[in-house]
């Protein structure tokens, strides 16, 4: 997701190589659409933040655009207050940023009594501050984007938790599963709603000693109160325990879709 200077671009630059051609898009949905249409071979989008939680646009987009996860990338996030050269901490009245970044800095924003404007990316926030050129307006973004737009660092690491990380997923249309992967993402759509249904699904993994690293419920879109479950496991899809888990869930009548088998890269 662009423009130049977003955290997504930083993660992409560190994951891919200089030989790759980068195609910044205006939104996460545009990244997913570009991969789905074939105009891009691969995409990288945020899926989860350690403070703000799940990025719904990305996980829903996996299904909408029929995409497959090839890798996940854990990227440390440092959020900073950046403004124009004549800005000072006490002069700021409004901050501009993407919604997840604002969510990750709630305590700072509340303490300073700041108004919030939401835009499509942290880089776009920096561009807005540059264009408005007001000492009362600042962006919440990276130090990298401050350098790109010639803005001043006013306050560093203003996020609520110093251990702030965002997990990105690398996605493509390629559904070939490489051997030796450490994790698998599946989507379980229950065959019916009944008391203890989710517990019965989770007990399958517990019985096979498969650790779950992430679980997220999302509505099926068919009926209020009906959900399907994204489940990430610490087991490659080709491993015997994972193969057994999938077959047992299917025996119970649940639909199981494989969304990716991959390994984690920590940047």
**CATH at residue 216:** 3.30.70.260
Cβ burial of 161 (10 Å; 0-12, 13-18, 19+) is exposed
Does residue 39 share a domain with residue 168?
Answer: yes
| Whole-angstrom distance, CA of residue 215 vs CA of residue 219 | 14
Cβ contacts of 183 within 8 Å, gap of 6 or more: 72, 213, 232, 233, 234, 235, 236, 261, 262, 263, 264
Alpha-carbon dihedral angle through residues 240, 241, 245, 251, given to the nearest 10 degrees: 50
Residue 215 lies in a domain: yes
- Please, which pLDDT band fits residue 27 given cuts at 50, 70 and 90? confident
Task: Give the residue, 7 or 43, on which the prediction is more confident.
Answer: 43
Query: Looking at residue 159, what is its pLDDT?
Result: 93
Range of the domain at 102: 80-155
Q: What is the mean pLDDT of residues 258-265?
A: 93
CA distance 184 to 212: 10
Question: pTM above the 0.85 mark?
Answer: no
At residue 163, the pLDDT reads: 83
Note if the bond before 3 is cis, omega within 30 degrees. Answer: yes
Q: Are residues 53 and 168 in the same domain?
A: yes
Q: Are 98 and 122 in contact (CB under 8 A)?
A: yes
Q: Is the pLDDT of residue 242 over 90?
A: yes
- Could you tell me if residue 22 is inside a domain? yes
Is 92 found in the same domain as 67?
no
- Angle between helices 28-37 and 56-64 in degrees, nearest 10: 20
CATH number at residue 72: 3.40.190.10
**Residue 3, pLDDT above cutoff 80:** no
Single residue among 172, 197, 226 that ends a domain in this structure:
172
Rg (CA), the chain: 21
DSSP string, 38-105: TSSS-EEEEEEETTTEE-HHHHHHHHHTT-EEEEEEEEE---EEEE-TT--TTT--EEEE-HHHHHTT
Residue 224 is predicted with a pLDDT of: 87
- Convert the pLDDT of each residue in 113-168 to its tens digit: 999 999 988 999 999 999 999 999 999 999 989 989 999 999 999 999 888 899 99
Whether residue 192 sits in one domain with residue 62 = no
Q: Is residue 212 part of a domain?
A: yes
What is the spatial distance between Cα 63 and Cα 90, in angstroms, rounded to a whole number?
45
Residues 64 and 120 occupy one common structural domain: no
Within this chain, do residues 124 and 168 fall inside the same structural domain, yes or no?
no
Let me know whether 147 and 168 are in one domain.
Answer: no
pLDDT at position 146: 92
Stretch 42-71: mean pLDDT: 92
Residue 138: the pLDDT is 97
Residues 43 and 168 in one domain: yes
Q: What is the pLDDT of residues 182-233, one digit of tens each?
A: 999 999 999 988 889 999 999 999 999 999 999 999 998 888 888 999 999 9
Domain count, the chain: 3
Q: How many CA atoms lie within 13 A of 23 on its CB side?
A: 13
Q: Are 50 and 168 in the same domain?
A: yes
98 and 220 inside one domain: no
pLDDT of 51 over the 90 cut: no
Residue 2 lies in a domain: no
DSSP E strands: which ranges in 173-224? 183-189, 212-219
Predicted pLDDT at 179: 84
Q: For residue 250, what pLDDT band results from cuts at 50, 70 and 90?
A: very high
Q: Are residues 73 and 84 in the same domain?
A: no
The answer to the question of residue 34 being in a domain is yes
Mean of the per-residue pLDDT values of the chain? 93
Q: What pLDDT, on the 0 to 100 scale, is given for residue 216?
A: 94
Would you say residue 177 lies in a domain? no
């Amino acid at each position: 997701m662009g423009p130049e200077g977003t955290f997504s671009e930083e993660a992409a630059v560190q994951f891919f190589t200089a030989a790759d051609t980068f195609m910044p898009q205006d939104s996460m949905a545009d990244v997913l659409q570009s991969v789905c249409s074939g105009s891009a071979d691969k995409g990288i989008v945020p899926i989860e933040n350690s403070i703000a939680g799940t990025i719904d646009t990305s996980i829903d987009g996996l299904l909408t655009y029929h995409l497959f996860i090839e890798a996940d990338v854990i990227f440390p996030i440092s959020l900073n207050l950046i403004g124009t050269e004549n800005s000072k901490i006490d002069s700021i009245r409004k901050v501009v940023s993407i919604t997840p970044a604002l969510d990750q800095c709630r305590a700072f924003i509340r303490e300073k009594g700041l108004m919030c404007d939401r835009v499509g990316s942290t880089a776009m926030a920096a561009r807005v501050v540059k264009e408005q050129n007001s000492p009362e307006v600042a962006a919440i973004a990276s130090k990298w984007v401050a350098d790109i737009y010639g803005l001043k660092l006013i306050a560093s690491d203003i996020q609520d938790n110093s251990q702030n990380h965002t997990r990105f997923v690398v996605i493509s249309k390629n559904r070939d599963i490489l051997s030796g992967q450490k994790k698998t993402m599946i989507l379980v759509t229950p065959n019916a709603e009944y008391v203890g249904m989710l517990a019965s699904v989770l007990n399958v993994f517990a019985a096979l000693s498969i650790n779950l690293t992430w679980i997220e419920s999302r509505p099926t879109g068919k009926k209020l109160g009906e959900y399907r479950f994204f489940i990430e496991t610490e087991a490659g899809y080709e491993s015997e325990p994972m193969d057994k888990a999938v077959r047992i869930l299917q025996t119970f009548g649940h639909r199981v879709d494989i969304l990716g088998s991959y390994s984690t890269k920590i940047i």
